[in-house]
Amino acid sequence: MAWWKKGCLSVVLGLVLLVLAFWVVYGGANEQVDGEIVPVPLAPEHVTARVAVQKKTAPNESNRILFGDLHVHTTLSVDAFMWGLPLMGGEGVHPPADACDFARFCSQLDFYALTDHAEALNPRTWEVIKDSVRECNAVAKGSEQPDLIAFTGFEWSQVGLTPEEHFGHKNVIFKHEDEDRLPARPIAAPGISARAFSKLSALWPLLTIPVRAFPDQEPYLDFARHIRENARYPFCPEGRNSTELPRDCREQAATPDVLFDKLHDWGFETLVIPHGTTWGFYTPLGYAWDKQLRADLDDESLQRLIEVFSGHGNSEEYRTFRSAVVTEDGLACPEPTDGYEACCWRAGEMIRERCEDPESETCQRRVAKARADFLRVGLAGHVTIPGEDVPDWKNCGQCPDCYLPAYQYRPGGAVQYILAKGDFANPESPRHATMGFIASSDNHSARPGTGYKELARLRMTEARGAPDESWRAMMFGERGRPEPESITYTIDDLMERPPFELMWMERQASFFITGGLVAVHATERSREAIWDALHTRNVYGTSGDRILLWFDLLNGPDGVLPMGSEVELSIAPRFQVRAAGSFEQKPGCPPDVIRAVGEERLDRICAGECYNPGDRRRRITRIEVIRILRQLSEDEPVEDLIEDPWKTIPCPEGQDLCVVEFDDPSYAELARKALYYVRAIQEPTPTVNGGGLRCQGERCKPCYGNFRTPTEDDCLVDTEERAWSSPIFLLAGPKP
């Protein structure tokens, strides 16, 4: 029996060692908490200087421009946490406190908002966000001229698999910070985002990573704990008033009208801002905004602004091409046109290039199958072509003549299309969207306002990637050898593949830029004045540079009216534009900022560089005027209503301020609704990822987020930074 006891002892000892080994690898995860905010405000001379430099350009003493970022994620958002992991070349967690310090000392903004994905939040982390905003504001509490004003918000991140089910992402911003003027919980969108952000099973490859990364497994364990924490909270009961729901549940709204109703339940001052409306990362093939023009899906009291530009690209410009054509039988692949090639078409051409006889019936069948296979799985269509690599796809899916376009451009969601298109539920009185323009960063590392300098591509943009080939294969999948035929997948089949592979992250990295800013025309530096400007649409967006812009209707019924105004007018409108370029930047950070924050933290959150303006303004080279007529009937082609540019006015050389006036004598004869907005175009300067896939002819040189592009290569290409005014909306009055 001694041998039996000895064997049992060995088994027990083996089990103990196994459990111990498991604990060493998988135990001890940390929950995410807020960091420490630097408890001193920015030196007053910096705030005073912002006012002083505008006095030479502002039309009057009471008009000042404040710059902010209303689209900022911390690593409380699951996608941000993933991008911060070592396997993606990330820097680790960036809690809400980092956003406060970055906005105050690095980018030196006037205001910002936290907008983490509601699908990734739970009751505890929602409290972290609210407390962090209050703590950030408390640093300058009591000051008549606060250096920084923080707002609380969240992102409703809805994704539909088909154009009919898709509504897209919207940021929800609240005016006040007080507990009794904020909702008890954020409101998420059910579906793909919620499932991915709530269940570790959707990210099964990560379960094996701690063993592979040992002894540096801690970030992966923390990430798993973060997802498990979210999954512990139940979803709230449906069909009840939001104010009556339990505090410890996770609330959801499936469609915009339900979201609007829930926000009205609370009755707080709130803004809802759509964004990423042309971004093909999550927007289905063939999508168009049309259904969201309905009154129930476009609450004018809440949805007063739209994000025209971000670190995910430009969503302004309309084009007639489509990524897929919606038919009664499903999706069809469009033929190339006007320099545009749909990726479903390119999939067929890649298979054609592998045929022994490209003209044979067999090859034609394979080409047709490749296009159908691509359309079947939509956003992950690239996985249907075995042995493909990013350059093989050339410039498919992109808007070749757009300014810094969003990845896989969806023109049916372009802001110009949204404003021109009408809803004809009542044919006698078609309905149109009326929204002002903002821009922001959509940054995912708690860095509001990253566009102040064009540097540190892998830190100041969302470009991320595996540090070596072995990690790349694990996270993005083995592409295998080129085969003569495409692979037919179902959506369920794709769920078994690595998640980062389905996102086509390697290709997308070429389109992440440093992001934009929202600018408000405010009467003072206060929460009230900023909110008033946002609500009245007296705002504009920039591509990241602090361009100054005024756009006014000079002959309104009651005098001068600013951008964002909606007015009845029967005579020829006369407008004035005033624009001044941004300041060239000096290297490094101001000495007082270094003393306040410390070099180590400045390097961690600012990459060692701060907003540090010199004395020279960059030149505004021209003003572009866009006129859009509002659709009167469903059969009126939208492309005929968008005049871009309707007028181009050059700016004189050698002047800091460009002032131009123009009128539209033809307006009175149009007898229809019209809107006008302007772009102030700045002299060319280097821009991170300014060349997209950097295609020249048939050859492309992608700017990868991983080891395939050197870390020090910021992929700089000259572009013309710009500012977009909010439109002035004219309603045709009776003829004089």
Residue spans of alpha helices (H) in 70-149: 78-83, 96-101, 123-138
pLDDT value, residue 333: 97
Question: What integer is the mean pLDDT of 152-157?
Answer: 98
Contact between 26 and 210 (Cβ < 8 Å):
yes
pLDDT value, residue 201: 43
Question: What integer is the mean pLDDT of 690-715?
Answer: 93
Q: Is the dihedral of CA 715, 716, 719, 724 positive or negative?
A: positive
Same-domain check for residues 334 and 454:
no
305-310 and 187-188: which strand pairing? unpaired
Separation CA 321–CA 408 (nearest Å): 12
pLDDT value, residue 210: 63
Contact between 163 and 289 (Cβ < 8 Å):
no
Read off the pLDDT band of 503 (50, 70, 90): confident
pLDDT value, residue 54: 87
Same-domain check for residues 362 and 454:
no
Same-domain check for residues 268 and 331:
no
Separation CA 563–CA 626 (nearest Å): 13
Answer whether residue 5 shows pLDDT above 70. no
Separation CA 318–CA 409 (nearest Å): 10
pLDDT value, residue 299: 97
Read off the pLDDT band of 213 (50, 70, 90): low
Q: Which two tokens stand for residue 138?
A: 């408390």
Answer whether residue 314 shows pLDDT above 50. yes
pLDDT value, residue 194: 59
Answer whether residue 197 shows pLDDT above 60. no
pLDDT tens digits, residue range 113-138?
999 999 999 999 999 999 999 999 99
Other C-beta atoms within 10 Å of 696: how many? 8
Residue 651 lies in a domain: no
Give the number of C-alpha atoms closer than 13 A to the C-alpha of residue 457, restricted to the C-beta side: 27
**φ, ψ of residue 12 in degrees (nearest 5):** -60, -45
Answer whether residue 456 shows pLDDT above 70. yes
Residue written as token pair 């930047």: 585
Find the length of the chain.
736
Q: How far is CA 518 from CA 315, 549, 562, 723, in A?
A: 15, 12, 16, 10
pLDDT value, residue 60: 79
pLDDT value, residue 734: 61
Among candidate residues 379, 390, 377, 321, the one with its CA nearest the CA of residue 350: 390
Separation CA 373–CA 347 (nearest Å): 9
pLDDT value, residue 92: 92
Read off the pLDDT band of 472 (50, 70, 90): confident
pLDDT value, residue 28: 64
Residues 184, 186, 191, 193, Cα dihedral to 10°: -140
Which DSSP string corresponds to 343-366?
Answer: HHHHHHHHHHTT-SSTTSHHHHHH
Poorest-pLDDT segment among 183-187, 218-222, 364-368, 703-707: 218-222
pLDDT > 70 fraction of the chain, expressed in percent and rounded: 91
pLDDT tens digits, residue range 237-272?
999 999 999 999 999 999 999 999 999 999 999 999
Separation CA 32–CA 415 (nearest Å): 37
Element (DSSP H or E) covering residue 560: strand 559-562
- Report the predicted TM-score, pTM, of the whole model to 2 decimal places: 0.94
pLDDT tens digits, residue range 340-368?
999 999 999 999 999 999 999 999 999 99
Same-domain check for residues 51 and 104:
yes
Residue 59 lies in a domain: yes
Residue 641 lies in a domain: no
Residue 316 lies in a domain: yes
Among candidate residues 410, 412, 395, 406, the one with its CA nearest the CA of residue 462: 406
Residue 103 lies in a domain: yes
Same-domain check for residues 388 and 262:
no
pLDDT value, residue 360: 96
Answer whether residue 538 shows pLDDT above 60. yes
Same-domain check for residues 50 and 105:
yes
Residue 347 lies in a domain: yes
Separation CA 226–CA 552 (nearest Å): 49
More confident residue, 201 or 362: 362
Answer whether residue 2 shows pLDDT above 90. no
Residue 535 lies in a domain: yes
Sheet containing 559-562: give its strands across.
Answer: 559-562, 548-556, 574-580, 657-663
Among candidate residues 436, 440, 435, 316, the one with its CA nearest the CA of residue 68: 440
Number of domains in the chain: 2
pLDDT tens digits, residue range 539-593?
999 999 999 999 999 999 999 999 999 999 999 999 999 999 999 999 999 999 9
Poorest-pLDDT segment among 36-40, 431-435, 668-672: 668-672
List the beta bridge partners of residue 171: 155, 273
Contacts of 138 (CB under 8 A, 6+ apart): none
Question: What integer is the mean pLDDT of 305-330?
Answer: 95
Separation CA 100–CA 109 (nearest Å): 10
pLDDT > 90 fraction of the chain, expressed in percent and rounded: 76
Residue 224 lies in a domain: no
pLDDT value, residue 214: 59
b/e per residue, 20-54, with b = 16+ CB within 10 A? eeeeebbeebeebebbebbeebbbeebbeebeebe
Intra-chain end-to-end CA distance of the chain, in Å: 113
pLDDT value, residue 733: 64
CATH number of the domain enclosing 105:
3.20.20.140
Contact between 676 and 625 (Cβ < 8 Å):
yes
Q: How far is CA 235 from CA 76, 105, 121, 140, 257, in A?
A: 19, 39, 12, 37, 19
pLDDT value, residue 241: 96
Same-domain check for residues 149 and 272:
yes
Same-domain check for residues 534 and 522:
yes
Residue written as token pair 């009126």: 636
pLDDT value, residue 17: 45
| Residue 718, SS3 per DSSP | strand
Answer whether residue 200 shows pLDDT above 60. no
Separation CA 671–CA 683 (nearest Å): 37
* Owning domain of residue 480: 325-396+471-509
Contacts of 445 (CB under 8 A, 6+ apart): 73, 74, 75, 80, 83, 84, 91, 94, 98, 459
Same-domain check for residues 382 and 259:
no
Question: What integer is the mean pLDDT of 715-736?
Answer: 90
Same-domain check for residues 315 and 175:
yes
Among candidate residues 616, 635, 729, the one with its CA nearest the CA of residue 682: 616
Same-domain check for residues 350 and 449:
no
**Average model confidence (pLDDT) for the chain?**
91
| Residue 706, SS3 per DSSP | coil
Contact between 545 and 721 (Cβ < 8 Å):
yes
Other C-beta atoms within 10 Å of 445: how many? 27
Question: What integer is the mean pLDDT of 442-460?
Answer: 96
pLDDT value, residue 158: 96
Same-domain check for residues 311 and 414:
yes
Q: Which two tokens stand for residue 687?
A: 């821009």
List the beta bridge partners of residue 676: 627, 728
Q: Which two tokens stand for residue 302?
A: 């809440």
pLDDT tens digits, residue range 28-83?
678 889 999 999 999 999 998 888 888 888 887 778 999 999 999 999 999 999 88
- In terms of Cβ atoms closer than 10 Å to its own Cβ (0-12, 13-18, 19+), residue 12 is exposed
| Residue 577, SS3 per DSSP | strand
